[in-house]
Chain A
Amino acid sequence: EDQVTQSPEALRLQEGESSSLNCSYTVSGLRGLFWYRQDPGKGPEFLFTLYSAGEEKEKERLKATLTKKESFLHITAPKPEDSATYLCAVHDQAGTALIFGKGTTLSVSS
């Protein structure tokens, strides 16, 4: 069964304290792994798509990496505005639907 597991469930950081979020997945024939950011009361906002092991993508203080079994979202020197829930998703075997993890809620305090 295709699965996506994110850890930790919640993460509290001080401003400037770098850390990483983990997304482990099991799916046959990965075609894409997606990272989204979700603010309270809002819809998920697309961040990155990773297609193959070894690939990396960056956006401001965020960097996403991918291996054959997991993906990491590295947050460098976070700011309070980075506080949000970060969602990871992979496609199902049919390639139509996304299977989402439960998310990691990040809180950054100043």
Chain B
Amino acid sequence: NAGVTQTPKFRVLKTGQSMTLLCAQDMNHEYMYWYRQDPGMGLRLIHYSVGEGTTAKGEVPDGYNVSRLKKQNFLLGLESAAPSQTSVYFCASSYGPTPETQYFGPGTRLLVL
């Protein structure tokens, strides 16, 4: 099993550009999450999904959109990138809600100039 994979690993964008981050999991998990990690801030939840076709906002959702068209995939979109969105983005998945364990992907490093 590959677990949770993320594409791409690293990306540089100019302000105003758009992009989509892809997360895939092969563990048949219902729940999927997108977090961002910034120095001195810890991991913060952006959006999450409790099943195929569902999405919900987390702590810091502004400027991001998500879609869960297939159970194994969770996409994070930036419609108009801003320098404040420079961060490391992590996807995670779990069988169900807490206290089920969340398993994380390797991360996508995004730099917005």
Residues of A at the B interface (CB closer than 8 Å) are 4, 31-32, 34, 36, 41-46, 49, 51, 87, 89, 91, 95-98, 100-103
- Give the distance to chain A from B78, nearest Cβ to Cβ, in Å: 20
Interface size class of B (residues with CB under 8 A): 20 to 34
Contact flags B12-24 to A (C-beta < 8 A → 1, else 0): 0000000000000
In whole Å, how far is B7's beta carbon from the nearest beta carbon of chain A? 14
Cβ–Cβ contact A31 & B99, under 8 A: yes
30 pairs from A and B in contact (CB 8 Å cutoff): A4-B42, A31-B98, A31-B99, A32-B99, A42-B107, A43-B106, A44-B43, A44-B104, A46-B101, A46-B103, A46-B104, A49-B99, A51-B99, A87-B42, A87-B43, A91-B98, A95-B97, A95-B98, A96-B31, A96-B48, A96-B97, A96-B98, A97-B45, A97-B48, A97-B58, A97-B59, A98-B98, A98-B102, A101-B42, A103-B42
Chain B positions 95 through 113: 1 when the CB is less than 8 Å from some CB of chain A, otherwise 0: 0011101111111000000
B33 in the interface (beta carbon within 8 A):
yes
Q: Would you call the interface of chain A mostly helix, strand, loop, or mixed?
A: loop
B residues within 8 Å of A by Cβ?
A: 4, 31, 33, 40-45, 48, 50, 56, 58-59, 90, 97-99, 101-107
